[in-house]
Amino acid sequence: MSYEIERATPCKVLLTATLGPEEVREERDHVVAEWVRSARIAGFRKGKAPRSLVERRFAGEIREDLEEHLTRHAWEEARREENLRPASPLGIREATWLESGEFRLKGEVEIYPNVELPALDGFTPPHFDLEPSEEDLAGALTQLQERQAAWEPVENEPAATGMLVEAEVHGEFPDGGGEPFHEERSLFQLGQGEVYPEVEAAVTGRSVGDEVSAERTIGDEGGEERKGTRVSYRVKVKSLRRKRLPEVDEALASSLGVEGGVETLKARLKERLRASKAERRRDVWRDALVNHLAGGKVLDLPERPVQEETRKDMVEFAHALARRGVDPEQAKVDWEQMEKDMRARVEVRLRAEVLLDALAERLAITVSPTEVDHEVEHQAQRIGVPYAELRGNLAKAGGLERVGAVLRRERAVDEVLGRFVEQDGA
């Protein structure tokens, strides 16, 4: 086979390949043999029909299969010899049978760009202090207090910011446009935006037993059909509660199962904070490594994967809205700007993947099928699904290869960063 590769852009190549008569005959013999084995023709058992009859009966199908096999053979050989990383299937522009018996094809394909990595000895990650500050520790203690907080009844005081309100709510649409509604027990915390501002303003300053009225006009969030519709509320305050944070003392430590009192509790919190900071440090160092590998250049990217990944992220965002009970079509979202923002993030992610793939290649990083299975098993445990189910779904969608690629990239990152861990403090 002879071929020519023309680089139309850094991420698109044009392939012209010619397969000689001998290659064509050899491949045709394989295709015909497969048709003979599988053909069903009346009067003959499967696989027993004469070759000549099968060739006549299925001439068109055999020719299509042969062209597909020859195209795949040509592309695989050219891809392998030129060390190309395809980002899309080969698109056939022209397929021609020559009088000499040769088969010639022309096609184009998007590829990931070739990467020239700088020397790693020029990389030094930024210093990152793992020791928690007093502010870090105070914040962690406050989070513990919040989780252990109690809501105490409030007597003879008006509702104020931070209080938890229990209310009975009646609503109606004075001008039509909706059915009346009633909620026997509505809970919301003042100042957290958990109810409409008009309702919160009406309740603030009221006491237990008070009944107040509020009114609002539906805005863009209700869609064009309901925009401008008035809604009236009658709200009866049934109870008020105030959050009480526990003291940071021996009792708090004991309630958390910590023996040794407050000092032991603080020591454990510092350990967790150090572990969290170590994870954050790796993220910072990883970004610094990617920037070093880029060498100040912006890699070109093939358009197809950028579009596909952006579309996937947009769909996932819409699904997330729907899971929260928000109709994506009615949501107040600038979808055009959202798509631009998501595309920008996708481009950053894909450029990092290209650079880290090249790094893994330089370091000769490999990942075995067993290691991929172990990672899938861990993922299944984290999301609470059976391992076999997750692995099967990934296998169908090409996900196992993606899992292996992620492991390979992150292993390359760890190999480089591991040299600096002891220097910066473990």
| pLDDT range class, residue 424, cuts 50, 70, 90 | low
Give residue 224's pLDDT band: very low, low, confident or very high (50, 70, 90). Answer: confident
Residues constituting the chain? 426
- Residue ranges of E strands in 209-355: 211-217, 230-244
8-state DSSP, 177: S
The angle that helices 59-82 and 21-38 make with each other, rounded to 10 degrees, is 130
Please say if the pLDDT value at position 423 is more than 80. no
Nearby residues of 49 by Cβ (< 8 Å), 6 or more positions away: 36, 39, 41
* Interval 334-383: pLDDT, tens: 899 999 999 999 999 999 999 999 999 999 999 999 999 999 999 999 99
Region for 216 from its dihedrals, namely left if φ exceeds 0, alpha if ψ lies in -120 to 50, beta otherwise? beta
**In the predicted model, what is the mean pLDDT of residues 387-416?**
93
* pLDDT for res 105: 95
Q: CATH 3.10.50.40: which residues of the chain?
A: 150-244
Phi-psi group of 157: left, alpha or beta (phi > 0 → left; psi -120 to 50 → alpha; rest → beta): beta
The token pair at 411 is 């292993």
Looking at residue 47, its pLDDT comes to 87
Average pLDDT, the chain: 93
Q: Can you give the pLDDT at residue 426?
A: 52
Count of CB atoms within 10 A of residue 401's CB?
12
Mean pLDDT lowest among 16-25, 29-38, 413-422: 413-422
> Of all helices (H) and strands (E), which one includes residue 167?
strand 164-172
* Cα dist from 184 to 167, 168, 170, 187, 206, whole Å: 7, 5, 8, 10, 19
Q: Residue 211: pLDDT band by 50, 70, 90 thresholds?
A: very high
Residue 181: C-alpha distances to residues 107, 234, 241, 318 (Å): 63, 11, 25, 28
Residues 273, 277, 280: CA angle, nearest 5 degrees: 145
208, 212, 215, 218: CA torsion to nearest 10: 20
327, 220 contact by CB (below 8 A): no
% pLDDT > 90, the chain? 85
CB 184 within 8 A of CB 157: no
- Alpha carbons 218 and 228: distance in angstroms, whole number: 5
230: pLDDT strictly greater than 70 = yes
* Closest C-alpha among 88, 90, 96, 94 to residue 24: 96
Region 35-63 average pLDDT: 92
Superfamily of domain 2-110, CATH level 4: Trigger factor ribosome-binding domain (3.30.70.1050)
Q: Specify the CATH number for 261-424; select among 1.20.950, 1.20.1250, 1.10.1220, 1.10.3120.
A: 1.10.3120
Query: Could you report the per-residue pLDDT of 259-274, keeping only the tens digit for each?
Result: 889 999 999 999 999 9
pLDDT above 60 for 226: yes
Residue 83's contacts (CB-CB under 8 Å, 6 or more residues apart) are none
What is the dotted CATH code of the domain comprising 150-244?
A: 3.10.50.40
Q: What is the mean pLDDT of residues 249-267?
A: 92
Dump pLDDT digits (tens) for 72-119.
999 999 999 999 999 999 999 999 999 999 999 999 999 999 899 999
What pairing do the DSSP bridges indicate for beta strands 12-19 and 103-110? antiparallel
pLDDT at 327: 84
Q: How far apart are CA 19 and CA 105, in angstroms?
A: 9
Q: What is the pLDDT of residue 223?
A: 67
d(CA 114, CA 300): 10
| Averaged pLDDT, 390-394 | 93
Only one residue has tokens 């938890």, namely 164
pLDDT digits (tens, 9 = 90+) for 280-336: 999 999 999 999 999 999 999 999 999 999 999 999 999 998 888 888 887 778 899
| Residues 121-128, mean pLDDT to the nearest whole number | 92
Predicted TM-score (pTM) of the model is: 0.77
pLDDT at 246: 94
CATH 3.30.70.1050 location in the chain: 2-110
Tokens 């048709």 sit on residue? 35
| For range 200-228, the mean pLDDT | 89
Residues of the chain with CATH 1.10.3120: 261-424
